[in-house]
């Protein structure tokens, strides 16, 4: 795992966009895993800018989103589908048929989840998965005690997640109680992962996920078992890391080595 610490949210987002775009440019048919939440918004803005100004091409990109609230239709303004179209897809040349987001209205949830897993496999797996982290340590919507081998399924959200996400809804009661989410096992089958975290509010959970034990209690900690994960943080999110200086030193040494 490589930990990159950048001065602020903007620098974190630019670093992430440089990485994502350079990976996209390496392969003709690229499979990109995407996340929602406020953290990747800066990354998506930068990718849109790169598309408009630098020809970053989404024509042959296939995407899979991590999760979706159960019970929200894609037209609901708080659905992750709506979020993705508003904040990325409608601004780039991606083909509608190449976009995959779990169906929050699926009638047969189990069958849908199996199909979602199948579609990822059919696409050749995810080349690069973008991740955020919830304040309770979740990746996607894999709440504490989700099996580290879990697959796409329905999950019950914690009260903490409901409260964190209430800011996007009129009130807390409107936040769905369930979500369809890729499992921890599904997520970390991606060939590469990039996890972003910003602000002091994530400092504690980031330190646990990176430097704490691998535990189902903090599902993001499973990234320690993944062989190609980059974590990009701003100073706030990095504040509680014990080996911060070493991660900075590695960052510098890697750059020097690659000169």
**C-alpha angle 105-109-113 in degrees, rounded to nearest 5:** 110
Candidate list 6, 20, 30, 36; residue touching ligand GLP; CB under 6 A: 36
Active site residue 200: no
Active site residue 127: no
Two tokens at 84? 């993705």
Question: CB-based burial of residue 14 (10 Å sphere; 0-12 exposed, 13-18 middle, 19+ buried)?
Answer: middle
Cα separation, 12 vs 7, in Å, equals 7
Q: Does 221 bind ligand GLP (CB under 6 A)?
A: no
Cα separation, 11 vs 236, in Å, equals 12
Q: Does 35 bind ligand GLP (CB under 6 A)?
A: yes
Catalytic residue among 67, 189, 234, 235: 67
Residue 9, phi-psi category: left (phi > 0), alpha (psi -120 to 50), beta (remainder) = alpha
Least distance to ligand GLP, CB of residue 161, Å: 6
**C-alpha angle 205-207-212 in degrees, rounded to nearest 5:** 100
Pick 226 or 245: Cβ nearer ligand GLP: 226
Q: Does 79 bind ligand GLP (CB under 6 A)?
A: no
Among the listed residues 170, 174, 172, 168, the one whose alpha carbon sits nearest the alpha carbon of residue 80:
168
Q: Does 9 bind ligand GLP (CB under 6 A)?
A: no
Among the listed residues 217, 78, 233, 67, the one whose alpha carbon sits nearest the alpha carbon of residue 145:
217
Q: Does 137 bind ligand GLP (CB under 6 A)?
A: no
Q: Does 187 bind ligand GLP (CB under 6 A)?
A: no
Largest CA distance in the chain: 54
Q: Does 156 bind ligand GLP (CB under 6 A)?
A: no
Binders of ligand GLP among 38-57, rule CB under 6 A?
38-39
Active site residue 234: no
> 3-state class of 88 per DSSP?
coil
Active site residue 100: no
Catalytic residue among 143, 189, 234, 235: 143
Least distance to ligand GLP, CB of residue 56, Å: 23
Q: Which stretch binds ligand GLP (CB under 6 A): 6-14, 16-24, 117-125, 127-135?
A: 127-135
- Residues of the shown chain interacting with ligand GLP in the complex, contacts defined by CB under 6 A: 35-39, 66-67, 132-134, 140-141, 161
Q: Which residues participate in catalysis according to the annotation?
A: 67, 136, 138, 143
């Amino acid at each position: 795992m490589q930990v990159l610490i950048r001065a602020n949210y903007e620098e974190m987002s630019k670093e992430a966009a440089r990485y994502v775009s350079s990976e996209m440019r390496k392969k003709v048919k690229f499979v990109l895993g995407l996340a929602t939440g406020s953290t990747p918004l800066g990354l998506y803005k930068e990718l849109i800018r790169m598309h408009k100004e630098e020809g970053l091409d989404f024509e042959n990109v296939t995407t899979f989103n991590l999760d979706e609230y159960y019970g929200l239709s894609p037209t609901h303004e708080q659905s992750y589908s709506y979020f993705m179209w508003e904040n990325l897809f409608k601004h780039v040349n991606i083909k509608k048929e190449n976009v995959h987001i779990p169906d929050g209205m699926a009638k047969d949830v189990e069958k849908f989840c199996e199909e979602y897993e199948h579609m990822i496999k059919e696409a050749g797996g995810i080349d690069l998965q973008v991740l955020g982290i919830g304040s309770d340590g979740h990746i996607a919507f894999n709440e504490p005690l989700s099996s580290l081998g879990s697959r796409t399924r329905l999950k019950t959200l914690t009260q903490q997640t409901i409260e964190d996400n209430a800011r996007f809804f009129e009130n807390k009661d409107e936040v769905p109680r369930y979500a369809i989410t890729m499992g921890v096992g599904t997520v970390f089958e991606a060939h590469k992962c990039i996890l972003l975290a910003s602000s002091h509010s994530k400092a504690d959970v980031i330190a646990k996920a990176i430097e704490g034990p691998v535990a189902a209690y903090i599902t993001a900690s499973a990234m320690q078992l993944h062989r190609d994960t980059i974590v990009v943080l701003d100073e706030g999110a990095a504040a509680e890391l014990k080996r911060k200086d070493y991660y900075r030193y590695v960052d510098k040494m890697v750059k020097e080595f690659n000169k």
